[in-house]
Amino acid sequence: MRTRMVLAGIVGLLSVVASLLVASAAARTAAAPAPEAQLLGVTPMHAVVGQRITISGADLDGTTAVTFGSVPATSIVVDPAGNWVRVVVPNGVPTGAVTITLDIGNTPYSTGPIQIEPGSVPAAANRPPVVNSSGGVHPTLRVAPRIVTFSPHRGHAGTKVRITGTNLNGISWVRFGYVQAQIKAESSTAIIAIVPKNARSGKIRLHTAGGTAVSTGLFKVLGSASV
């Protein structure tokens, strides 16, 4: 009888110890928070409606929605590794400075503001990333163009204008006051464009696969009204 009582006591003690260990492990698991997302930047910082932009960061794979100010985006692609989110600027976003907000695990994360320029382009394709046979992701890197300066700063239609900047290779178009110009020469750092007929004074815009760049200064088309 005494032996059975001792064994019963040992079994009971072991059960209590096991329960305490399970509870401790559960408490540690519950206390470990999910990784907090980080927003590191937006490319490009100037965009128009219909243009695709990229938000870079860490632990972004839980993104379920993106809004521009109060306007929700409808075209969103999320990197499975959580390093970026690609989104197309939706219709209805007002021009000017706009803050971008990501909904990640029911928590809002905001970045920007970026500058939404007047005008629009056809909605950019926004395909999911290509995954190779080993499970790795090969996103296509698109670097935003930037206009540094241009010369001359004024001229009639037909004037050659040299635009210098960075990431200008693969140029799609150049516009003077929203009127498309002829491109005579191009490289990654410089473009020569011809001021088009009917151009109006205003900022110079150019577009590559990486986005749209807008000059900080105005080009004066002699004999035209400004915009």
Please check whether residues 114 and 163 belong to one and the same domain.
no
The verdict on residue 3 lying in a domain is yes
The verdict on residue 226 lying in a domain is no
Whether the upstream peptide bond of residue 152 has omega within 30° of 0, thus cis, is yes
Please check whether residues 209 and 121 belong to one and the same domain.
no
Task: Output the pLDDT for position 175.
Answer: 93
What is the distance between the alpha carbons of residues 96 and 33, in angstroms, rounded to a whole number? 37
Tens digit of each residue's pLDDT, the chain (227 residues) = 555 554 555 545 556 555 655 555 555 544 444 468 888 888 888 888 888 889 988 888 888 889 999 899 888 888 888 888 999 999 999 999 999 999 988 889 988 889 998 877 787 777 665 555 555 544 555 567 889 999 999 999 999 999 999 888 889 999 998 899 999 999 989 999 999 998 989 999 998 877 788 898 999 999 754 44
Task: Output the pLDDT for position 227.
Answer: 44
Please check whether residues 58 and 133 belong to one and the same domain.
yes
- Report the candidate in 200, 220, 76, 102 with the shortest Cα–Cα distance to residue 151: 220
Domain count, the chain: 3
What is the distance between the alpha carbons of residues 146 and 77, in angstroms, rounded to a whole number? 25
Q: The pTM is what? A: 0.46
- Report the candidate in 182, 184, 175 with the shortest Cα–Cα distance to residue 219: 175
Place of tokens 């473009």: 191
Bridge partners, 68 (sequence order): 71, 100
Please check whether residues 45 and 110 belong to one and the same domain.
yes
The verdict on residue 227 lying in a domain is no
Domain that holds residue 47: 38-138
Task: Output the pLDDT for position 38.
Answer: 85
Task: Output the pLDDT for position 174.
Answer: 95
Task: Output the pLDDT for position 31.
Answer: 41
Residues for the chain: how many in total? 227
Please check whether residues 101 and 54 belong to one and the same domain.
yes
In contact, 82 and 102? CB cutoff 8 Å: no
Please check whether residues 178 and 197 belong to one and the same domain.
yes
